Amino acid sequence: MKWKKRDECMTIDDVIKRNIGEFKENYPETKIVNLSEAVERIYAAIQTGELITIFGDYDADGVTGAAILWATIRIMSGTAPVIRLPRRFSEGYGFSMTAADEMDEGLLITVDNGISSFEPIKAVKDKGMSVIVLDHHLPDERMPEADIIVDPHCFKHEPDDFEDWCGSGLAYRVCKELLKKLGNDVLRARTNAYIQQLAAVGTVCDVVPLVRDNRMIVINGLKSINMMPCKGIAAMLSITGTTYVDETTCGYLIGPMLNASGRMEDDGALRSFDVLTACNREGADDLESTVGVLAMLNDRRKADVSDAMEIARQEITETVPRGAYPFIIRNDSIGEGIVGIIAGKIAEEYKVPTFVFTSIGNGLLKGSARSFGSVHIKQMMDAASKVIKSYGGHAGAGGLIVHEDDLFALYTMMHRYIGDYKAEISDTIEYDLEIDAADIPAAYTAISRCRSFGEGNPNIVFKVNKFVLCPRKGECFRKMGSNKEHIKFFGNKFSAIGFDMTDRFDESIGKTVTCVGTLTENNYRGYSEIQVEMRDFKVSNDTKDTELTKKLKEKLIALGISNDERKVV
């Protein structure tokens, strides 16, 4: 791989200014159409004791959004609303007719779904129920027959209004306004801090742009977690030995644990919901064991993903014609709970929009899609809607169900839509700034003003020179992972980690590394250090002495010890 600086003239101040942009901590909250109407309708239901049912989703965003609404309404009313999450395998995504058949009265609130649930919403409306839809997915040409729809993609006050919310972010905004009607100031502040923690997790995990309102939610939510995490998040941190939470912790530790139960079990999302609402729920004494199950399921999910990736790569090699975009992969041995993960990994690895399908019986295939580059997944599925039984999504991702006989027709329509797409394959890694390893702590402190990093606010990439490997407990590096596939280099008070890079390290050629990557903070069981998360590295024979090494040599020479005598310690 080649390394190239994006702008030769850019300084660290320029990079910070680029990332911060127009963001201000007192940035005015975006007005959301129909938000106040939704707040008033929910508050009316609380005051009259009307039955309230919350229908969420089985991913981290949908579960946190449902937990935000459930906990807030329970605290304000003293009565727990009914909670219902979709069953991944038997029902699939979204508000289904099965769920609608269970409901007869009161107010239904859907969160992170509902904008495409035309028939089920009509069914509950026909029973006399009221419906509020809180959703962030792109609408079709028609709207569901809900009483109130809060979806920034459907309505805007102004053309430049912020629209890239997630479900938990919308739930937080609704509940933040609801809490203003709560007379107890202390309870209001405590509840707001709690639901903001959940909103921060959901916002990071749903990979929406971390700009404007989203960025403020994440900054404040992470700050609150690190001051006093809610009971469920604290239990997840405890079982993993984590003492500090940032956007990386949310995306690679908390989110996968919350998602794993819903991916591996039909009704597993309820277990994650129970963990998140433990501080507001009776009978939560089993929290530690419940979190243990989440961790176990997440480990099983990781193993399944590893096996499925090998299957998917083989399918690409054997069945996908060269230059055939998007990738359409169908293998029934891939579990339907992980098709989205596999689609995302393949899209990233091959730089191509990817659809992964697996059989769900009766001749039907369930698929998940992930984009790459500028290709719009929802619009691509729109172009093939004639052969899709059901689907939904947005620019970057989507889900769909098709009949297996229509798979080739689906590909043909999507290929026609995508046109002359060229895979965005590059052998160049671009970095923002170049520093010496000794400057890592100062650089990390400087860029902390730009956090939280994520979609829309990319982490700053450094080229790090003169990274001298230093021994810790007798070793200068460590191979990690179940198959020793990851490599960790030890420096002086900091480290560098390369995922799936062990095979590229030849320990015989030198102990000085030059690498390209981002700076993160690694916290584990009370120990904290700055870490370079490498995208690439090169090992050199540069044995230039550090000041410490020079002093040691001078000391040994003064003692009359020769080079040969110092070879073996």
Output the pLDDT for position 373: 80
For residue range 336-378, what is the model confidence (pLDDT) as tens digits? 999 999 999 999 888 899 999 999 999 999 999 999 888 899 9
Indicate the pLDDT class of residue 284, thresholds 50, 70 and 90: low
Domain shared by 502 and 378, yes or no: no
Domain shared by 117 and 231, yes or no: yes
For residue range 456-481, what is the model confidence (pLDDT) as tens digits? 888 899 999 999 999 988 889 999 98
Indicate the pLDDT class of residue 424, thresholds 50, 70 and 90: low
Res 179 pLDDT > 50: yes
Q: What is the mean pLDDT of the segment spanning 228-247?
A: 92
Res 553 pLDDT > 50: yes
Least confident of 17-21, 96-100, 465-469, 553-557: 553-557
Can you spell out the DSSP letters for 449-478? GGPSPBTTBPPPEEEEEEEE---BTTBSEE
Q: What is the CATH number of the domain that holds 462?
A: 2.40.50.140
Task: Residue 92: give the domain boundaries.
Answer: 31-298
Indicate the pLDDT class of residue 565, thresholds 50, 70 and 90: very low
Domain shared by 334 and 289, yes or no: no
Q: What is the mean pLDDT of the segment spanning 184-203?
A: 96
Looking at the domain assignment, is residue 47 inside a domain? yes
Q: What is the mean pLDDT of the segment spanning 422-449?
A: 86
Q: How many Cβ atoms from other residues are within 10 Å of residue 180's Cβ?
A: 10
Least confident of 376-380, 445-449, 555-559, 562-566: 562-566
**Tally of structural domains, the chain:** 3
Distance of CA 346 to the CA centre of its chain: 17
Domain shared by 109 and 241, yes or no: yes
Q: What is the mean pLDDT of the segment spanning 111-119?
A: 94
Least confident of 299-308, 482-491, 515-524, 545-554: 545-554
Q: What is the pTM of this model?
A: 0.84
Q: Which helix (H) or strand (E) covers residue 119, if one does?
A: helix 118-126
* Listed residues 418, 447, 481: the one ending a domain: 418
Identify which of 420, 394, 444 has the alpha carbon closest to the alpha carbon of residue 163. Answer: 394
Average pLDDT, the chain: 89
Structure-token match 């905004």, residue found: 173
Looking at the domain assignment, is residue 569 inside a domain? no
Res 567 pLDDT > 50: no
Output the pLDDT for position 483: 82
For residue range 373-410, what is the model confidence (pLDDT) as tens digits? 888 999 999 999 999 998 888 888 889 999 999 999 99
Least confident of 156-160, 384-388, 440-444: 156-160
| CA atoms of 156 and 459, how far apart (whole Å) | 30
Output the pLDDT for position 390: 87
Indicate the pLDDT class of residue 564, thresholds 50, 70 and 90: very low
- The CA radius of gyration of the chain, in Å to the nearest whole number, is 26
Domain shared by 252 and 105, yes or no: yes
Domain shared by 253 and 357, yes or no: no
For residue range 475-530, what is the model confidence (pLDDT) as tens digits? 899 999 878 899 999 998 899 999 989 988 887 777 899 999 999 988 776 678 99
Looking at the domain assignment, is residue 198 inside a domain? yes
Res 279 pLDDT > 60: yes
Looking at the domain assignment, is residue 181 inside a domain? yes
Residue 556 near residue 543, CB atoms below 8 Å: no
Residue 108 near residue 208, CB atoms below 8 Å: no
Domain shared by 410 and 459, yes or no: no
Output the pLDDT for position 18: 80
Looking at the domain assignment, is residue 490 inside a domain? yes
| CA atoms of 534 and 467, how far apart (whole Å) | 12
* Listed residues 244, 266, 298: the one ending a domain: 298
The share of the chain scoring above pLDDT 90, in percent, equals 62
User: Looking at 408-563, which runs of residues are DSSP E strands?
Assistant: 428-431, 433-436, 461-468, 477-480, 486-490, 494-498, 512-524, 527-540
Res 541 pLDDT > 80: no
Domain shared by 93 and 215, yes or no: yes
Q: What is the CATH number of the domain that holds 84?
A: 3.90.1640.30
The Cα-based distances of 287 to 235, 280, 399 in angstroms read: 7, 12, 32
Output the pLDDT for position 423: 64
> Which residues, 6 or more positions from 201, have their beta carbon under 8 angstroms from its beta carbon?
60, 64, 168, 221, 233, 250, 254, 255, 258
Stronger pLDDT, 311 or 553, i.e. the higher one? 311
Domain shared by 414 and 437, yes or no: no
What are phi and psi for residue 539, nearest 5 degrees?
Answer: -100, 135
Domain shared by 432 and 413, yes or no: no
* Listed residues 389, 418, 447: the one ending a domain: 418
> Which residues, 6 or more positions from 407, have their beta carbon under 8 angstroms from its beta carbon?
328, 330, 357, 365
| CA atoms of 354 and 348, how far apart (whole Å) | 9
Domain shared by 278 and 389, yes or no: no
Output the pLDDT for position 560: 61
Structure-token match 């809180």, residue found: 134
Q: What is the mean pLDDT of the segment spanning 175-187?
A: 95
Res 109 pLDDT > 90: yes
Domain shared by 213 and 347, yes or no: no
Least confident of 2-16, 127-141, 237-251, 345-359: 2-16
Looking at the domain assignment, is residue 384 inside a domain? yes
> Which residues, 6 or more positions from 524, have their beta carbon under 8 angstroms from its beta carbon?
241, 242, 243
Looking at the domain assignment, is residue 26 inside a domain? no
Res 176 pLDDT > 90: yes
Q: What is the CATH number of the domain that holds 407?
A: 3.10.310.30
